[in-house]
Structure 1
Amino acid sequence: MGKAGRIACISLPYLLTIGALVPLILVYLGGTNSGSSTLNSLYFFRADLSNLTSQENAQSLGEQLHDLAGDVAGLDGDQLGQALQHAREQFNLRDFYTIGLWGYCAGNKTDDGFEVDYCSKPKANFWFNPVEIWNLNDTGVDNLLPSDLNRALDIYETVSKWMFVAYTVAVIATIIELLVGLSAIFSRLGSLVTSLVSGVAALFTVASSVTAITLFAVLKGTFNNVLEEYGVHGDLGRNIYVATFIASAFALAGTLFWLVSSCCCSGRSPYHGDRKRGLLGGEKTPYSYERVGSPYMGPGHSSPMPSYSPGSHVPMQTYNRSEAYEPYRQV
């Protein structure tokens, strides 16, 4: 009964830990497989270039970037025009690009919505560099990007590395939490150790979630403020933020209940202590017998010694019924 109660006590925090791990893994793998609609729907940020690359757009890419460059003083218009023309001819831009933790995905807009047909190879500490990914680095156009956008991209590059590490620690700590949690079946000490691991997992899960929403919200604001007039629009992904904050909520709740399980539900039988005290502490259980001292009626009384006749196994001493003794007494 004690072990059953202990298992029931840790079942809730264990299930909460599993509930935190599942969305964490989805966030971790988002944008890594072009053939999975589930993973493709998990992205932090989406850059929509459909108006830029659409045939309905009145301006070509080169003309739009030329207009953007016109605000920068001291540039040679002929050289810039050649660079922009080269970029326009060489570009194979997709309608949209989505950013995940390990890489990016791209695709085109259809009547059914956004359809992903390509995902980059997963890379640790990934950050989305539009100049490199859109092949602008050989055209000189990267020098024409406004300072606000360049500053936002620099911050994004730095913070994205911390975010990758935070999510990685959160996933690993949560898996360790599940393994260490098995020890909580046997004792409250196991729950205490699991609580410590759970606290680390919850800390990094919440920290990575807050970092992600803050970072990409700032990037979206700067991105749209600078490039929206050129037909480029940025959006935040809804599904990935729902998943990461669900993971945070489950992680925090799991830590709380692991702490509760370390303070109660010891797993011992309620009669275990009584039996131990009865055997080791000299306490007597009801309706038991114990041997009396010798002589049993005190030091002033000696028990008659029975005599035996040769060849006989039967005592020859007779006793009065009133003087018969019992070698054990009932307590």
Structure 2
Amino acid sequence: MGKGGRILCIVTPYALTIASLICIIIVGLGCTNSSSDTLNDLYFFRANIQNMTSTSTNSSKVSEALSKAGVTVSDGDISSALEQVQKQFNLSDFYDIGLWGYCSGNITKNDYEVTECSKPKSEFWFNPVQVWGLEETGLENGLPSGLRKSLNLYKNVSKWMFIAYIIAFVATIIELVVGVFAVCSRWGSCVTTLVSGVAFLFTAAASVTATAMFATVTGAFNENLKNYGMHGSMGKNIYVATWLAVAFSLGAALFWMLSTCCCSGRSPYNHKNKATRGITAEKAPYTYEPLGPQGTPNTSYPPPPPPAQNRTNAYEPFRHV
């Protein structure tokens, strides 16, 4: 198979690599533009605090936690603090968390309308204590221990998740660049296969980390804050995008590997090929062959024309092998 077949063999993994890169870009664009409804629907986690209330069926545990932290307040003081947070800091109805930042907005008849988004920041993690102003009300140490542990885990793991996505993005771009050289030879396919393996590993690692981490955060959020009318949920579209990136990256890696052992770019009709150099066709038996003047076979082809008057050449009826 020649260059044309080699190109056809490379088209499939190249297209899968492009698809994986697009999905990774979609994940990164989530929660970055408040005016785009499509991008606003790309979030890892959503905190719905529209129905946040100052009363709780579990107020005694919160009071106990505050007492251990050195803050002496009653249930009425906690209720007043929550009301003060809502009035003083003008909290939004919901907060969406993405890879680079978060977006917030209001809920009108079950319609989530984003009003603003934070500036993109590397290694971003959403700190509700700072965003919601809890540190100024004395409620920072009053958060349930399970929620605080989940927030600390989210803070540490989110940095690794961000780095993994960046490496996956860069490796996928390098895979596209190196993949051009795979058209020329199998060595190019070999190098591209190695790069695609790195891209797949980090894409899968980032996707697994994001899914597991935000599933933990969602469970802790609902378990500890549901008594205050707050609810957390995981997004859908962004997880579809990130796992599609994993699937496309895996398919590209497999097809790049396949291209290293098939679809050679060297033409079988290349006359410079040493394997075909010097090969001559064998003469079939029982064929006529001109003889020389002394009855020896004439090795020149085509045979020279016979003399005009004195014709000494003769033809052997059969050549026996």
Q: Report TM bin, short chain.
A: 0.7 to 0.9
Once the two structures are TM-superposed, the CA of residue 321 in structure 1 deviates from its matched residue by: 2.9
Alignment of 1:117-266 (within 5 A): 117-266=115-264
List per-residue Cα deviations over 1:27-59 (Å, max 9, x = no partner): 01111111111111110000001111xxxxxx4
More deviation in 187-196 or 86-95?
86-95
Contact 1:64 1:230 in 2 (8 A): yes
List per-residue Cα deviations over 1:202-250 (Å, max 9, x = no partner): 0000010011110000111111000011010000001111111011001
Contact 1:65 1:84 in 2 (8 A): no
Which of 62, 71, 81 matches 1:69?
A: 62
Which of 106, 109, 112 matches 1:108?
A: 106
Q: Which has the larger radius of gyration?
A: 1
CA–CA separation in structure 2 for the residues paired with 1:277 and 1:154: 66
Contact 1:66 1:80 in 2 (8 A): no
Q: Mark the runs of 5 or more structure 1 residues left unpaired by the alignment.
A: 53-58, 288-295, 298-317, 325-331
Counterpart amino acid of residue 178 in structure 1: L
CA–CA separation in structure 2 for the residues paired with 1:112 and 1:147: 31
Counterpart position of 1:43: 43
CA–CA separation in structure 1 for the residues paired with 2:57 and 2:97: 23
Counterpart position of 1:283: 279
TM-score (norm 2): 0.82
Contact 1:66 1:84 in 2 (8 A): no
Change (3 A) 1:161 1:275: closer
Counterpart amino acid of residue 7 in structure 2: I
Once the two structures are TM-superposed, the CA of residue 69 in structure 1 deviates from its matched residue by: 3.3
CA–CA separation in structure 2 for the residues paired with 1:261 and 1:282: 31
Over aligned residue pairs, what C-alpha RMSD do you find?
Answer: 2.9
TM-score (norm 1): 0.80
CA–CA separation in structure 1 for the residues paired with 2:186 and 2:98: 40
Contact 2:200 2:253 in 1 (8 A): yes
Contact 1:50 1:94 in 2 (8 A): yes
Secondary structure in 2 matching 1:284? coil
Change (3 A) 1:157 1:121: same
Structure 1 position 7 matched with structure 2 position 40: no
More deviation in 73-82 or 130-139?
73-82
Counterpart amino acid of residue 44 in structure 1: F
Counterpart amino acid of residue 46 in structure 2: R
Show structure 1 runs of 4+ deviating over 4 A. 63-66, 78-86, 273-278
CA–CA separation in structure 1 for the residues paired with 2:27 and 2:42: 7
CA–CA separation in structure 2 for the residues paired with 1:65 and 1:118: 33
Secondary structure in 2 matching 1:184? helix
Change (3 A) 1:222 1:112: closer
Counterpart position of 1:92: 90
Aligned residues: 289
Counterpart amino acid of residue 166 in structure 2: T
List per-residue Cα deviations over 1:131-180 (Å, max 9, x = no partner): 00111122221011111111110000000000000001111111111111
Contact 2:58 2:227 in 1 (8 A): no
Contact 2:222 2:230 in 1 (8 A): yes
CA–CA separation in structure 1 for the residues paired with 2:131 and 2:222: 18
Secondary structure in 2 matching 1:50? coil
**Identity over aligned pairs, percent:** 53
Contact 1:209 1:244 in 2 (8 A): yes
Counterpart position of 2:26: 26
